[in-house]
Amino acid sequence: MRASIQGRFGDRLILVAVVALAICWLAPIFWVIGLSFKPNDVIMKTTGGLLSPPFTLKNYTDIIATSAVFGWMLNSAIVATGQTLLTLALSTLAGYGFARTDFPGKRLVFVAVLAGLAVPEQAIIVPLHTMFAEANLHNTYFGLIAPRLAVPFGVFLMTQYFRGIPAEIEEAAMLDNASRFKIFLRIVLPLSIPAQATLGIYTFLHAWNEYFWPLVSATKPEMYTLTIGLAATQTNFAQTEGIGFLMAQAVFAGLPVLILYLFFQRHIVTAVSGGFAK
Amino acid sequence: MTSIVLKRVSKKFGTTSVISDLSLAIDPGEFTVFLGPSGCGKSTLLRMIAGLEDVTSGEIEIEGQRIDRAPPGERGVAMVFQNYALYPHMSVRENLSFGLKNIGMPKAQIDERVQAAARMLEMDALLERRPSQLSGGQRQRVAIGRAIVKEPRAFLFDEPLSNLDAALRSRTRVELSRLHQRMKATMIFVTHDQVEAMTMATRIVVMNQGRVEQVGTPLGIYRRPATRFVAGFIGSPAMNFLKVEPAAGEGGMAAVRLGDGTVVQTDIPTAGLEAVPAELGVRAEHVTTGGGIPATVDVVERLGDRTLVYSRLRNGAAVVYEDEGDSPVSVGDAVSLGFRRQFLHLFDASGKAHQAPTLEGGPRHG
Amino acid sequence: MAEAAALSRPAGVVGRRTWANGLFVLPFFLTFLALMVLPLGVGMWLSFQDYDMLGGYGGSVGFENFTRLWEDKIFLRSVLNTVYFVCLSTPAFVALGLFLAISLNDTYRRSAVLRSIFFGSSVLSVTIVTLIWRLVYMPERGLLAVSAGAVGLSSPSFMTTESLAMPGIAIVTVWWIIGLPMMLFLAALQQIPREVYEAAALDNASRWTTLTRITLPSIRRTIVLVAVIEVILQFQIFGQVHLITNGGPNNATRPIVMFIYEAGFRDWSLGYAAAASQVLFVLMLAASFFQIWIGRSKQED
C-alpha cells in the first residue's frame, strides 16, 4: 500500500520533469516561429511582446520574392535523391553478394569494407577535395553526391538483412528454373523492400542535412544546397537587419522535414536508430 | 528399371566427411524415406539429389540420365522444404505458377495445372491469398502444390511435417500417403521421426553418420534390423538391450547368459554367428509374464489399450514390457518375465544383428 | 544437418562459389576503392608532404607536419577543446537518454507524443539548429535573456563568455540529437522480457532495486554502445561551432575538425591539414577502443 502511493508520487514527479524538459525542447522552435511573423524593425528593438501585435507575413512574402531558398531546395532534392538511389543500388547488390553468394576472396573484401566503417569523413576530406579539384568535379551535382557512396554503412545494413531471409526461398526458386538474375529481380528485390525503405530514409535525411562536404565542394551560390545556403546567410548574422527574414527562412527550410517526420515518424525512427543498433 | 540411382556418392565439407561412398537405387513410384538422427547426412543427401549441394565424388542418375552436375532447375525434381520456403510476396497462384512461367509454359496450360493441383489439395479458395494469410497447414499444402504442378520426375520432401502440431502432422501423413497412391510418383522423404517413416514409406533407408545402415520395407526393418543402431532407432518404446555372455545352447541354436545368471535359449543358429554375441535384444511386446526371470516394477505407464511396464532384473538391468490395458500391476511388484524366443535378436561387438531364420521380414514390396 | 552445412560455406550462401558472383559486389567495391581507400592513402601520403595550394609542393618532409602540430598552440587547444566537449556531451547523452527512455517506456499516448518531441529535433539540419539557438542565446533579445528577465534574473551570455561557450555548444548539441540515444535505449528496454520484472515483483524488489539491479544491468551492452557511438560522433563536432561561435571567444570552442577545415580550406595547407586529420582519426580509434575495453572488463567482473 505504502509502496504504491510512493510509486504513484514518484511517477508524477518524473512526469512533471519530463514535461518540463519537453517544454524546453519546444520553446526554441516556437520562439523562432513567433519571431518569423514579426516585423524586422520591431525585433531590432525588442523581442518581448511576441504574442502581441504587430504581426506580419512580410518575411514570408520576401522569401518568395527575393530568397534563393527555392534554388537551394532544388539542389538539395537533386543531391539527396541521387545519393539515395545510388546508395540503394550499390548497397543492395553488394549486400546480396556478401550475404548469399560466394566468390574467391569474399571474406577478405568483406573485412576491408567493414573496416571502412571506422573511417570518419574528416580523415579523408582534404585529399578527397584535392582529387575532386583535379577532376574539376566541384560545384557539380555528381561532386556533391559521390563521396558518401563509398560509405559502407548501407552495404553492412543490407548484408545483415539478407542474412535474415531464409535461404530456402531462393533454393526453391532455383528448383523453379529461375536464373540467378531472375532470382535477384523477382525474389530478392521485392523481399528487401523494408530494408530499402529504412536505408533510403536514412540516406536521404543524411544527404539533406549534410554540412561539411557541400561546404567545401559547393562554393558557387547557384550550387548551394539548402544547408549551405542557410549557413551562408547567417555568417554575417550580427550585422543583419532582417532577423525576422532569417527566421522565416529557417522555418520555411525546416518545415518540410518536420512535416515528413510527423507523417513517417516510425520509419524515420527505425531508419535512424535501427542502423546503429546492429 | 530404376528411377533414381546413387553410385558411390560422397560429400565432404572441407575435411569433414558427411556422406561416404553411398550407393542406392530407388525404383519408380516408390515412397522412399531417408531416416536417421540429426547430423546423419540425410538432408545433405536429399539436397545433393536436388542440386542444392554439389557431390564431392560419385554419380547421381535420374531415369538413366546423369544429373549430378546439372543445375537444380534442369533435374526435373520438385522439393518441399521444412519451412515451406513459399515466396512471401506472391499469392498462392503466383507461387504455384512461378516455376511453370520460368520454363515458358503457355498461360492456359499453367492455369489448368494450377486449378487441378488446387482441387486435389482442396485449396481452390486460397489461390489469391498471400502466404502470410495462411495457417501452417495451408502453407504446407501450398508447398506441396508448388511441387505437384511441375509434374516432376521425383518429389523430394525435407522434413516437411516438423513445423506442424501433432494432430495436423498425423493428418498430413495420411494425406501424403493418399497423394502418393493417387499420383504413383517417385517420392523421397527425409525425416528423423520413425513414426513418419514407418507409416508412409514403401522403403526405408536408415542412415547413420553418413552411411546407409539398412534398406528395407518398414516391417522388414522393424522385425529384422540389420544392426544394433537400427534396432535401437526403430520402435517405440525402444528395444530392450541386455548385456550377455555366451552359454551352451541346444540343437545348434545359440543361448546366452544374462547378467543375473539366467540362461536364455534362442532360435538363432550358432552356425550363423560370426562373433561372440555381446547383447541380447528383445522388444517390449515380445516379453511375456510368468517366464521365470525375476524382476521388480519401477514405473507403470498406462496407455489405455496397453500398459508399458518398466522393470529391473535382479542385477539392475532395465527391461520394458507390454501388458494388457487393464493390467493390475503396480510399482514395486515382483514379476516374473520371459522372452518369446523366436523374436529375439543377438548383437555382436561390432553391432551386427542376428535373428532366427524363421522370423518373417514382413510383406515384401514389389 | 544445419551444422554440417555450416561447415561447407558461410551460412546462407546459395549456389556455387564463382568469380561471377563477385560482380554483385564489384560496383560498390570500386566506389569504395576510389572514394575511400584511395583518399585515405593519399591523405596519409599528404600528411608527410609539404604541400600548400598557395605555396606549391615542397617535397617530402617526414614527420615535420606532426612535430609542427605538436608545437602549434592553436592545434593543442583544439584537441583539448574537443576532448572537453566530448566529456561534456557524452555523459549528458547517456544520462539524459537513459532517463527519457526509462520514463517514456510505456504505451501511453502522452509518452508517444513526448518521444516524438524529443526525437523531432534530430531531423533538422545543423544550419537550422544553429539559427534557432542563436536566437535563443542572443544577448538581451534572445529567448534565454527574455525568459530570465521575465522572472527578474539576468542570464549569462553563453556565446561571448569563454568558460560558458563550450557548455553552451554542448546544450545545443544535446537538444539537437538526444533522440538517437533515447531510441537506442528504448529499443534495448523493450528487449527485456516482462517475466524478469514479474519475477522481481514477486521477490519484493523496490522500484529503485528493480532499476539498478534488473533494468540497468540488462541494457549494459547498449549503454556501452551508446557511449561509443556518441564519442565517435561528438569527436567530429564542427557545424554547430562553425556557425555559432566560429571557434571563439578566444579559441575556447575551436575543435579539431574546425582546425582541419581552416588549415585545409582557408589556409590551403593540405599537408598540414592531412596530418591533423590523421591525429583525429587515431584519437577517435583510441577513444572507442578504450570504451569497448572498459565495457568488456566490466562484464568480466
Asked if the model's pLDDT at residue C1 lies above 50, the reply is: no
- Report the CATH number of the B232-355 domain: 2.40.50.140
pLDDT at A252: 85
What are the residue boundaries of the structural domains of chain B, listed by start?
A: 4-227, 232-355
Cβ neighbour number for residue C158 with a 10 Å cutoff: 23
pLDDT at C301: 46
Asked if the model's pLDDT at residue A6 lies above 70, the reply is: no
Q: What percent of chain B has pLDDT over 90?
A: 71
**C-beta atoms of A177 and B146 within 8 A:** no
How would CATH label the architecture of A67-235?
Answer: Orthogonal Bundle (1.10)
pLDDT at C207: 83
Instruction: Decide which of A3 and B172 is more confident.
Output: B172
Mean pLDDT score, B131-156: 92
Confidence of residue C5 (pLDDT cuts 50, 70, 90): very low
What are the residue boundaries of the structural domains of chain A, listed by start?
A: 2-59, 67-235
Burial of residue B254 (CB within 10 Å: 0-12, 13-18, 19+) is buried
Chain A 137-196, residues with CB within 8 Å of chain C CB atoms: 146-147, 149-152, 155, 162-163, 167, 170-171, 174, 180
Asked if the model's pLDDT at residue B218 lies above 90, the reply is: yes
Place of cell 551570455: C157
Confidence of residue C24 (pLDDT cuts 50, 70, 90): very high
Closest CA to C271 of C35, C74, C55, C38: C55
Asked if the model's pLDDT at residue A46 lies above 90, the reply is: no
Which chains have at least 3 CB atom pairs separated by less than 8 Å from chain B? A, C
On whether any CB of chain C is under 8 Å from the CB of A11, the answer is no
Residues A84-110: tens digit of each pLDDT: 999 999 999 999 999 999 999 999 999
pLDDT at B363: 52
Query: Residue B306 CA to chain centroid, in angstroms?
Result: 24
In DSSP notation, A220-270 reads SGGG--HHHHHHHHHTTGGG-S-HHHHHHHHHHHHHHHHHHHHHSHHHHHH
Residues B152-184: tens digit of each pLDDT: 999 999 999 988 888 889 989 998 999 999 888
Asked if the model's pLDDT at residue B335 lies above 80, the reply is: yes
* Mean per-residue pLDDT of chain C: 87
What values do phi and psi take at B212, rounded to 5? -85, 125
**C-beta atoms of C4 and B16 within 8 A:** yes
Closest CA to C50 of C201, C229, C283, C269: C269
Asked if the model's pLDDT at residue A170 lies above 90, the reply is: yes
pLDDT at C297: 67
Q: Which residues of C touch A246 (CB under 8 A)?
A: 131
pLDDT at C259: 94
On whether any CB of chain A is under 8 Å from the CB of C209, the answer is no
pLDDT at A5: 53
* Range from A90-104, B186-200, C143-157 carrying the lowest mean pLDDT: C143-157
Here the cell at position A79 is 543531391
Helix (H) or strand (E) holding C86: helix C73-103
pLDDT at C43: 92
Do B20 and B8 form a contact (C-beta atoms < 8 A)? no
Chain B 179-218, residues with CB within 8 Å of chain C CB atoms: none
Q: Best of A100, A174, A175 to disrupt the B interface by mutation (most B CBs within 10 Å)?
A: A175
Here the cell at position C254 is 575551436
pLDDT at B366: 36
Asked if the model's pLDDT at residue A2 lies above 50, the reply is: no
On whether any CB of chain C is under 8 Å from the CB of A275, the answer is no
Q: Which residues of C touch B16 (CB under 8 A)?
A: 4, 7
Here the cell at position C211 is 532499476
**C-beta atoms of C35 and A146 within 8 A:** yes
Residues 6+ apart with CB under 8 A from C95: none
Q: Which CATH number fits domain C65-300: 3.40.50.300, 1.10.3720.10, 3.40.50.880, 3.40.50.1950?
A: 1.10.3720.10
Residues 6+ apart with CB under 8 A from A143: A132, A137, A217, A218
**C-beta atoms of B16 and C7 within 8 A:** yes
pLDDT at C2: 39
* Mean per-residue pLDDT of chain B: 91
Asked if the model's pLDDT at residue A4 lies above 60, the reply is: no
pLDDT at A213: 95
Place of cell 526461398: A169
How would CATH label the architecture of B4-227?
Answer: 3-Layer(aba) Sandwich (3.40)
Residues B323-333: tens digit of each pLDDT: 998 889 999 99
pLDDT at C8: 44
Residues C69-91: tens digit of each pLDDT: 999 999 999 999 999 999 999 99
What are the residue boundaries of the structural domains of chain C, listed by start?
A: 65-300
